[in-house]
A and B are shown apart, each in its own frame.
Chain A
């Protein structure tokens, strides 16, 4: 019974196994990215960035059909271009970066939908917007796993400048370091993870598995590394449970996975060890000092 429920779907079906491995890799790399996105107060900008992959992916789709390499490369280039363009706009005008991000990603979204509609059907559009984790093939798996590896190695390499750039950019500048270099290196890694998540969850929800566990982890841990350690298992658990539920009940996997990530967020908000509802209610007596 338990075997049928938990193991059989993966033992019997190759696509479920590939989906499982893909979500493990996504969880490990993505949650580290998510933690930094939150600490840089960029969660909403990250979301905008994820949407901006659309025109690139659509252009790839227009040129190469439903081909993963073409759509991934297009999405990556579009994401990096959006980040760069809005950064440049913010620097050369007095516009705040979040506003220029919004302007850039709305433009990108509209362009993307238009491009898909030039050739594709509504089904193609749905695929690009919402992804299909059960359609992950070997090529996609290689992409997702390489991304996770590159993300962890890359973040480890730029960890110190990136942390200082987050909390005290002026110090970095006074040391003669250009913090923007690390900002854009980080954004490129973030875009890479969104591209990897895009096949599985689509451009609309690619950030769900990256951001929700990271937000949840802030209710349990209070340092960058420990937040990442808490976020990654929660991301993987949501993917695992989400896959099983969508398999047995016959629901689309992407939204189910993201909803389980939301459940982890809600649970952490209620039960987490710090700044949570429980922490606030269960310690009515203040300390002596």
Chain B
């Protein structure tokens, strides 16, 4: 099993406070990996780091992927903005037409297909501010479909989403896996992770464990993650773990 991503002693910090602390792990290629951990454990920050959007990174990320698609948490999008479902989905082809080029027929055709694939036919001209949370998540998944990426990063894709929508969107994710794409998802529902995600990375700023889900999500590991989360010190001194230790 080859790795799509290898994190080598990765530390990501905001204002010198590490949100991800000395994490070394591998994300297997063409597989589905869940990232699990308590709130504030650095899960979203880790995704941002993989995208190259984190403010300050120490350590290394070794990557074999060419194109990354990213599903942000919904709070990062202004859903009151007057833009239609179709235009939002079509943005998935940004890498083809960029900020100034015209969308080709094939892009428009594919956008139509993506909208059908997520079950939103007939919603094309609707402004996004009239959609429910679940419908809007379908829109974002359709945009991901158009991005044709070999690594898909999903930040809490199923937060506040009903089970019907979760099932439909999971079908999309399974399709990505069948197409040999690597999927990494931040998730909170552990039963769901056990059911659908063969690999898990459990973290609480530091890595607790990474590997097959059945092993990683042991009650012992989960307890450890919670204890680490409770032991966080906002007034910590300088970290004395040498950067070379695990590299």
Q: Do A and B come from one complex?
A: yes
Q: How far is the CB of A156 from chain B (nearest CB, A)?
A: 10
In Å, the complex CA distance between A161 and B98 comes to 9
Q: In the complex, are the beta carbons of A167 and B81 less than 8 A apart?
A: yes
Report A's interface with B, CB cutoff 8 A.
39, 94, 157-158, 160-161, 163-164, 166-168, 170-171, 173-175, 177, 222-224, 227
Q: How far is the CB of A166 from chain B (nearest CB, A)?
A: 6
Report B's interface with A, CB cutoff 8 A.
15, 51, 53, 68, 70, 72, 76-79, 81-84, 91, 94-95, 99-100, 127
Q: In the complex, are the beta carbons of A170 and B76 less than 8 A apart?
A: yes
In Å, the complex CA distance between A32 and B141 comes to 31
Q: In the complex, are the beta carbons of A223 and B84 less than 8 A apart?
A: yes
Chain B residues lying within 8 Å of A227, measured Cβ to Cβ, are: 82
In Å, the complex CA distance between A230 and B14 comes to 44
The A/B interface has a contact count, at CB < 8 Å, of 49
In Å, the complex CA distance between A146 and B77 comes to 35
Q: How far is the CB of B201 from chain A (nearest CB, A)?
A: 21
Q: In the complex, are the beta carbons of A158 and B78 less than 8 A apart?
A: no
Partner of A171, one of B72, B79, B81: B72
Partner of B127, one of A94, A170, A222: A222
Partner of B78, one of A94, A166, A173: A166
Q: In the complex, are the beta carbons of A175 and B78 less than 8 A apart?
A: no
Chain B residues lying within 8 Å of A160, measured Cβ to Cβ, are: 99-100
Contacts A168-B72, A168-B76 supplied; 17 other A-B pairs, CB < 8 Å: A39-B81, A94-B15, A160-B99, A163-B83, A167-B78, A168-B77, A170-B53, A170-B72, A170-B77, A171-B70, A173-B51, A174-B51, A174-B53, A174-B68, A174-B70, A175-B95, A224-B83
Q: In the complex, are the beta carbons of A164 and B53 less than 8 A apart?
A: no
Chain B residues lying within 8 Å of A177, measured Cβ to Cβ, are: 99
Q: In the complex, are the beta carbons of A175 and B81 less than 8 A apart?
A: no
25 A-B pairs with CB atoms under 8 Å apart are: A39-B81, A39-B82, A94-B15, A157-B100, A158-B99, A160-B100, A163-B83, A164-B91, A166-B78, A166-B81, A167-B78, A167-B83, A168-B78, A170-B70, A170-B72, A170-B76, A173-B53, A174-B53, A222-B82, A222-B127, A223-B82, A223-B83, A223-B127, A224-B82, A227-B82
